[in-house]
């Protein structure tokens, strides 16, 4: 079911002529009687009463499908001049704007009435940790008795209603529809994972976040941005008065301080690093295979001792960031502390993020979504701390994505893991053998004496690791995380690393 299917059940119609007046659009003749109740940018998702927005694509213009949109109940088309020519014979009134994608957010906000009276919105951005912080926010709010909404790389969720996600951040029309539905059912606060692409591609336009959080910045998405400075500028845009009231910035990466220097909204800072000055401090305690304890120290000296059910110092840092975002939004630190003490720590589960799928006996096996050099380095470092035996890593690299990070991913894996198994992972339209060759060569160059295995089929790679591992060993399957498919030559094939890992453990006689 597509994300656009979560819509308000009782939309209040908007006059098409008033829409034209509101956004300065030339009104076609005879539209005074027409009303719109929703917005769609795909002809496959059109509902009766929709405004269909025709956006130019890489291969085809969305306005080419105006006839299909009309057949499914669209009442008008909003597009650019080129799209207007394509939609002219559809029989629908055509509204023309210079950049329909740039207009989509504000138009959707007006139609779905999400500009006033919406849930409290929390936005999280950064390279790594966005999904985790969003889930921790959602979990903490639940512990405080708040009805929540959530949208992440994994899913869109309103209470018990959920659908799988196709993009990290939904398109603007889907996001505003989702928030309108949240408002209908009484959601008080929503956590939204915000990618850099979501900001530059206008997916969060028309929203004003109560608090935004920044986790870190490291090598990723340089296929979408010409350089690191441009990637940073995309993240920085979220920390402007037009998009957020206040922010919380982690200083655990050097880019946090740069963001603080350039932000135009009030921000507070947090760090888990020694020697770094910040308003809030996370002191990481002990960690086991399934949890990490930490102390959060406030600017006024108050402290909160608790734990997060995930391994790694970065898990504690993510939890600290989420707690401070709640405090910045008006929640009381002592009230949060009481809820955490009552529940034995943070109550949050993050699908496919350092998710432990093994049982009490045998090797520990984690499935993780990490697919950047920094994520590899931090995760392997965290797992090494409690691994008494060998550390195995199974990974591949995305096809049709930033290829410049692949050698660093392989180098870090070879330097920090005892056994590296390189497999295929979403090759998409690229030659999978060529991707593996880059990874294998970089891994062997980084550690010539290391054990590096090339096993194309990820299922067999997982089974090989399980065969070689024993009690005290740790296996990390990095990349797939929560995903339930792999894409090969443009075809999506069912594949779940979590399911394969559990099956491999059982086949070997271990618990899962």
- Does an H or E element contain 391, and which? strand 391-395
For the stretch 422-456, what's the b/e string if a residue is b when 16 or more beta carbons lie within 10 angstroms of its beta carbon? Answer: bbbbbbbebebeebbebbbebbbebbeeeebbbbe
State the pLDDT at residue 15: 98
474 is in an annotated binding site: no
CA distance 154 to 351: 7
120-343 and 355-507 in the same fold: no
Distances (CA, A) of 30 to 16, 81, 85, 88: 10, 20, 19, 16
195 known member of a binding site: yes
Query: In this structure, are residues 425 and 486 in contact, taking their beta carbons and an 8 Å threshold?
Result: yes
Predicted local distance difference test score (pLDDT) of residue 33: 94
3-state secondary structure of 12: coil
pTM over 0.75: yes
Query: What pLDDT, on a 0 to 100 scale, did the predictor assign at position 1?
Result: 35
What is the domain class of 14-112 according to CATH? alpha beta
pLDDT of residue 183: 95
Q: 318: annotated binding-site residue?
A: no
Q: Where are the domains of the chain?
A: 14-112, 120-343, 355-507
DSSP string, 275-319: T---SEEEEEEEE-SS-EEEEEE-TTS-EEEEEESS-SHHHHHHH
Q: Tokens 């056994």 identify what position?
A: 419
- Residues present in the chain in total: 512
Would you state the CATH architecture of domain 120-343? 3-Layer(aba) Sandwich (3.40)
pLDDT of residue 95: 98
For each of the chain's 512 residues, which pLDDT tens digit applies?
Answer: 333 468 999 999 999 999 999 999 999 998 999 999 999 999 999 999 999 999 999 899 999 999 999 999 999 999 999 999 999 999 999 999 999 999 999 999 999 999 777 899 999 999 899 999 999 999 999 999 999 999 999 999 998 888 888 777 899 999 999 999 999 999 999 999 999 999 999 999 999 999 999 999 986 656 677 888 898 998 999 999 999 999 999 999 999 999 999 999 999 999 999 999 999 999 999 887 789 999 999 999 999 999 999 999 999 999 999 999 999 999 999 999 999 999 999 999 998 889 999 998 999 999 998 888 988 999 999 999 999 999 999 999 999 988 999 999 999 999 999 999 999 999 999 999 999 999 999 999 999 999 999 999 999 999 999 999 999 999 999 988 888 878 888 888 889 999 999 999 999 999 89
Buried/exposed 213-244: b ≥16 CB within 10 Å, e otherwise: bbbbbbbbbbebbeeeeebbebbbebbeeebb
Q: Annotated binding residue at 37? A: no
The CATH fold of domain 355-507: 3.90.190
Residue 295 counted as an annotated binding residue = no
203 annotated binding-site participant: yes
pLDDT at 222: 64
Query: SS3 helix, strand, coil % of the chain, rounded to 5?
Result: 35, 20, 40
Please give the radius of gyration of the chain, using alpha carbons only, rounded to the nearest integer.
24
Is 128 assigned to a binding site?
yes
173 is in an annotated binding site: no
168 labelled binding-site residue = yes
Three-class SS state of 458: helix
pLDDT for 3: 38
Q: What is the DSSP letter of 61?
A: B
The CA-based angle 487-490-495, given to 5 degrees, is 20
The Cα diameter of the chain in Å comes to 77
């Amino acid at each position: 079911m597509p994300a656009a299917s979560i819509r308000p059940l009782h939309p209040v119609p908007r006059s098409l002529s008033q829409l034209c007046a509101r956004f300065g659009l030339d009104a076609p003749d005879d539209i005074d009687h027409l009303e719109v109740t929703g917005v769609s940018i795909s002809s496959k998702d059109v509902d009766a009463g929709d405004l269909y927005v025709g956006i130019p694509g890489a291969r085809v213009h969305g306005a080419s499908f105006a006839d299909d949109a009309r057949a499914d109940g669209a009442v008008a088309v909003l597009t650019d001049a080129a799209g207007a020519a394509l939609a002219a014979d559809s029989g629908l009134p055509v509204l023309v704007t210079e950049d329909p994608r740039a207009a989509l957010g504000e138009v959707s906000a007006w139609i779905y009435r999400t500009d006033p009276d919406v849930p409290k919105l929390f936005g999280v951005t950064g390279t790594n940790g966005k999904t985790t912080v969003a889930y921790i926010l959602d979990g903490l709010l639940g512990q405080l008795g708040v009805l929540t909404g959530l949208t992440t790389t994994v899913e869109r969720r309103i209470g018990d209603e959920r659908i799988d996600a196709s993009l990290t951040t939904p398109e603007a029309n889907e996001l505003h529809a989702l928030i309108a539905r949240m408002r209908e059912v009484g959601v008080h606060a929503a956590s939204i994972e915000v990618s850099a692409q979501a900001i530059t591609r206008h997916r969060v336009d028309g929203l004003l976040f109560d608090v935004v959080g920044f986790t870190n910045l490291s090598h990723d998405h340089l296929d979408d941005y010409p350089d690191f400075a441009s990637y940073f500028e995309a993240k920085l845009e979220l920390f402007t008065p037009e998009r957020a009231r206040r922010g919380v910035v982690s200083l655990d990466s050097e880019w946090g301080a740069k963001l603080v220097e350039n932000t135009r909204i009030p921000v507070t800072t947090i760090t888990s690093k020694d020697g770094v000055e910040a308003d809030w401090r996370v002191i990481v305690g002990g960690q086991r295979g399934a949890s990490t304890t930490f102390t959060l120290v406030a600017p006024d000296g108050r402290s909160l001792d608790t734990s997060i059910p995930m391994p790694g110092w970065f898990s504690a840092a993510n939890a600290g960031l989420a707690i401070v975002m709640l405090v910045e939004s008006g929640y009381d630190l002592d009230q949060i502390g009481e809820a955490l003490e009552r529940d034995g720590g943070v109550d949050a589960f993050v699908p496919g993020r350092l998710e432990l799928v093994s049982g009490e006996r045998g090797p520990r096996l984690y499935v993780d979504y990490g697919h950047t050099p920094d994520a590899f380095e931090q995760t392997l470092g965290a797992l090494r701390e409690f691994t008494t035996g060998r550390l195995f890593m199974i990974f591949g690299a995305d096809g049709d994505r930033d290829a410049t990070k692949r050698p660093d991913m392989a180098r870090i894996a070879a330097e920090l893991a005892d056994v590296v198994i390189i497999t295929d992972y979403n090759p998409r339209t690229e030659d999978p053998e060529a991707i593996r060759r880059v990874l294998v060569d970089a891994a062997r160059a980084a550690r010539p004496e290391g054990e590096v295995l090339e096993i194309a089929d990820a299922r067999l790679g997982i089974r090989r690791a399980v065969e070689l591992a024993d009690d005290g060993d740790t296996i990390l399957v990095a990349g797939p995380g929560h995903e339930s498919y792999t894409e090969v030559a443009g075809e999506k094939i069912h594949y779940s690393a979590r399911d394969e890992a559990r099956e491999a453990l059982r086949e070997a006689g271990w618990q899962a």
